[in-house]
């Protein structure tokens, strides 16, 4: 039997990775690796190279030496491996790889973990719930599947071509739709999260709740039992956010829905009340309406009251045309649940519903982390305050995603996680959000990038703008669907494009072209002069740009 001393292991999962690496060395018949004892006992053929054993362990981020050797040999295969795996890499400390702890497993966490490993670090990723975070499990993916199914149901029941194509009201089998939805969620979680983590020996996954002991260590209450301390060189907090609960008297005593329960329901309620006026509330309200619910939205102000007023007006008109009741400037003062139905008291009378969906925003998941022990500062809303490099107020601790004061979009979280990893391993990277596109998946869709006129004026920027209604866009005319508009905002003087707001079918597909134009610092005249394919919705950007100097109603169909 041969014994090795092994350092750098932080948990039993590390021992498993070391065992796999050792047993892959030619001549090794079996390896018994103990995290607790910090060593390995090997049964192997005579003549098996000790250097190859040590190199195999070094190749996955740990250090090994023969148990009876005071120091590892120098100048042989081990030294070459040190160079291959980062011995001279700024991410390491000599022969020890930089150890990064990542709390969470969603978009920000995964992007950071993979980038950190790519840059030569080893990662311990800690997840208290389901691997993959909110987006793939309970947010973006299941909601967009449901929205698409509802869109298909809507088109089968009603379309602009019903005079020539007989419309048939579809039978909705919500249970089957839910099974299809959840199967795709599980498929993506396995492919894009679980399988990637399982296949990366430089990433150790711990299942449990993490809290800070101090600025350089965590205590993890393991899911199976017990606690484990994890020391780190750097730490990324990427714990996301959860739906916020509206402070309405009586609400907590009722079986109300948050978005997760709504998406997981295998039935479509005859009557659905929705409290909220932003992304989640409007997306799910329209989806349930198109699948058969009679939906009423209670909006404290107007829909999307923080955006250009034209957005809320256009979407409200589209919803009402579909039979969705939008009650603006209306709040519930009391909620009760009796005899199987919800009763909401409002300033405009009583509202009764079979189900109640609360979609009034999201709150950062920071309360259980004991951030005060590490000196991490929160804003009044409980979000972690970070700088442009994703650094918190504590040395060596970074944060990214919905638990911070960044915009709550998964692609922002992933981009921030990647940049945080670069910075944690000695690089310099910042996140530019000046041309951040955003999409709401209603029908028509809402898409924005850059500044609205009001936001520009608050920044002291003089603006000019034009709004093009979709009855001027050939694609919309050919579709017999001219709901919505495209609005361009430019900086007076420079003529640069600084913002775009659109309400249109497939607005999400055109907004990235606007984001690229803004990134390139294009003037509105340069945008108007570009070639756009005819009979596409994105051509509306060109037409909107042309309206600054021309009357597009007087142009031929594809006039350049």
Helix (H, G, I), strand (E, B) or coil at 207: strand
SS3 state at 470: helix
Q: How many CA atoms lie within 13 A of 539 on its CB side?
A: 20
Q: 20 with 12: CB under 8 angstroms?
A: no
Q: Can you read off the two tokens belonging to residue 63?
A: 């250090």
| Catalytic choice (235, 258, 537, 558) | 558
β-strands 2-7, 63-66: how paired? Answer: antiparallel
- Judged on CB neighbours under 10 Å (0-12, 13-18, 19+), 255 is exposed
Which candidate in 135, 258, 424, 537 is catalytic? 135
Question: Is-catalytic flag, 62?
Answer: yes
Q: What is the DSSP string of 259-311?
A: HHHHHH-SS--SEEEEE--SHHHHHHHHHHHHTT-EEEEE-SSSTTTTS-HHH
Decide if 44 is catalytic: no
Residue 403: active-site member? no
Please tell me the distance from the alpha carbon of residue 177 to that of residue 148, in angstroms, as a whole number. Answer: 11
Which residue in 62, 193, 256, 398 is the catalytic one?
Answer: 62
Q: Phi then psi for 89, rounded to 5 degrees?
A: -80, 135
Q: At what angle do helices 507-519 and 539-546 cross, to 10 degrees?
A: 60
Q: Is the Cβ–Cβ distance between 340 and 353 less than 8 Å? A: no
Angle at CA of residue 448, ends 392 and 455, nearest 5°: 70
Angle at 446 between CA 444 and CA 447, to 5 degrees: 135
Give me the residues paired with residue 351 across strands.
Answer: 344
Q: Which residues of 261-285 are buried (b: 16+ CB within 10 A; e: fewer)?
A: ebbebeebbebbbbbbbbbbbbbbb
Residue closest to 91 by CA, chosen among 426, 472, 513: 426
9 is annotated as an active-site residue:
yes
Catalytic annotation, pick one of 1, 44, 110, 140 = 140
Active-site residue flag, 11 = yes
Catalytically active residues are 9, 11, 14, 62, 135, 140, 557-558
């Amino acid at each position: 039997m041969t014994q090795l001393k092994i350092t750098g292991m932080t948990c039993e999962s590390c021992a498993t990775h070391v065992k796999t690496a050792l047993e892959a060395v030619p001549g090794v018949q079996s390896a018994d690796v103990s995290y607790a004892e910090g060593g390995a006992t090997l049964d192997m053929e005579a003549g098996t190279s000790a250097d190859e054993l040590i190199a195999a362990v070094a190749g996955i981020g740990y250090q090994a030496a023969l148990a009876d050797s005071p120091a590892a040999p120098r100048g042989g295969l081990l030294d070459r491996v040190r160079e291959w795996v980062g011995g001279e890499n700024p991410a390491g400390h000599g022969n020890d790889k930089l150890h990064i702890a990542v709390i969470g497993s969603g978009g920000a966490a995964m992007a950071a973990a993979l980038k950190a490993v790519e840059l030569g670090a080893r990662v311990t990723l800690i997840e208290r719930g389901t691997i993959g975070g909110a987006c793939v499990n309970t947010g973006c993916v299941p909601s967009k599947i449901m929205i698409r199914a509802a869109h298909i149901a809507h088109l089968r029941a009603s379309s602009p071509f019903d005079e020539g194509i007989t419309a048939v009201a579809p039978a909705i089998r919500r249970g089957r739709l839910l099974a299809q939805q959840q199967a795709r969620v599980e498929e993506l979680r396995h492919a894009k999260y679980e399988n990637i983590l399982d296949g990366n020996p430089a990433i150790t996954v711990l299942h449990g709740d993490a809290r800070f002991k101090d600025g350089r260590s965590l205590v993890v209450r393991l899911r199976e039992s017990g606690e484990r301390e994890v020391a780190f060189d750097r730490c990324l907090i990427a714990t996301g956010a959860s739906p916020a609960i509206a402070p309405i008297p009586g609400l907590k005593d009722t079986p109300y829905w948050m978005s997760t329960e709504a998406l997981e329901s295998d039935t479509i309620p005859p009557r659905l009340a929705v409290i909220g006026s932003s992304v989640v509330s409007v997306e799910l309200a329209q989806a349930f309406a198109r699948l058969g619910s009679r939906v009423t939205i209670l909006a404290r102000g107007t829909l999307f009251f923080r955006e250009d007023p034209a957005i809320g007006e256009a979407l409200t008109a589209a919803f009402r045309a579909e039979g969705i009741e939008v009650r603006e400037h209306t709040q519930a003062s009391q909620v009760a649940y009796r005899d199987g139905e919800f009763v909401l008291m409002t300033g405009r009378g009583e509202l009764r519903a079979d189900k109640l969906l609360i979609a009034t925003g999201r709150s950062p998941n920071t309360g259980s982390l004991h951030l005060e022990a590490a000196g991490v500062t929160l804003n009044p809303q409980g979000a972690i305050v970070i700088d442009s490099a994703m650094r918190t107020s504590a040395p060596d601790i970074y944060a990214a995603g919905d638990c911070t004061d960044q915009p709550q979009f998964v692609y922002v979280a992933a981009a921030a996680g990647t940049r945080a990893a670069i910075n944690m391993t000695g690089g310099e990277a910042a996140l530019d959000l000046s041309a951040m596109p955003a999409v709401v998946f209603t029908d028509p869709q809402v898409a924005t990038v850059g500044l609205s006129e009001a936001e520009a004026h608050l920044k002291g920027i003089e603006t000019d703008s034009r709004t093009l209604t979709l009855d001027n866009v050939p694609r919309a005319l050919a579709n017999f669907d001219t709901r919505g508009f495209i609005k361009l905002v430019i900086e007076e003087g420079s003529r640069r494009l600084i913002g775009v707001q659109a309400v249109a079918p497939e607005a999400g597909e055109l907004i990235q072209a606007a984001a690229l134009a803004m990134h390139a610092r294009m003037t509105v005249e340069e945008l108007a002069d570009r070639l756009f394919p005819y009979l596409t919705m994105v051509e509306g950007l060109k037409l909107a740009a042309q309206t600054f100097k021309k009357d597009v109603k007087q142009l031929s169909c594809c006039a350049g």
